[in-house]
Amino acid sequence: MMKNILLLSFIGLLATVACSHQGKTPKTENTAAAGASDSYLTMKINGKDWVAEEDITGNLGLMGPGQFGLGGVKIVNGEEQHLSIAIQNVNGPGTYQTIAEQVYNVAQYAVSQQSNGDVKIFKSQKDGQFTIKITKVDGFNTEGTFSGTLPGWLGTTESVVITEGKFRTE
């Protein structure tokens, strides 16, 4: 129960910080290239492809100067998979890491099984092991890459390794 509350709290925080364009249809980088205004969020988790299917959000400065948020959802066999990234002190294109000096500087991947209520949370530990490179940023128009290791959190013992993360929101 406590895990569900924490998960919902973090997702609510990200939604507040990062609400912007929401894509409701599956997008891949290739289909996004066909339409200049399409958003996408893709990555590999422990070597397996992951493509956000809905609720793709990303922006800089919606809730305040220097606050960047990115997120998306994939649903597989009744299991919701959420990626959320919130970074502070973003002043434009550049490379940013999860570091201790920035309170809301976090990357989180959460898996929630609807059938039994189990939740697994993998969260950056503000140790610089998660990096996001923003190559384009203008309000809701963002683009870049990300990667890193997210250790298990709140009783989840394994870690996940995220590679080849790519995003574009418009």
Q: What confidence tens digit (pLDDT) does each residue in 25-64 have?
A: 344 444 434 444 589 999 999 999 999 998 888 888 876 7
Query: What strands, in cross-sheet order, belong to the sheet with 119-123?
Result: 54-60, 68-76, 79-87, 106-113, 119-123, 152-153
Q: What is the pTM of this model?
A: 0.74
User: If you average pLDDT over residues 84-97, what whole number do you get?
Assistant: 89
For residue 34, give the H/E element and its range: helix 29-34
* Contacts with 45 (C-beta within 8 Å, 6 or more apart), sequence order: 109, 160, 161, 162
Of 48-52, 66-70, 104-108, the poorest mean pLDDT is in 104-108
pLDDT at 99: 72
Residue 43 has what pLDDT?
Answer: 95
- When pLDDT is cut at 50, 70 and 90, the band that residue 78 belongs to is confident
User: Could you tell me the maximum CA-CA distance found in the chain, to the nearest angstrom?
Assistant: 43
Instruction: Supply the pLDDT for residue 1.
Output: 37
- pLDDT for the residue numbered 117: 67
User: pLDDT at residue 22 above 80?
Assistant: no
Tell me: pLDDT of 6 over 80. Answer: no
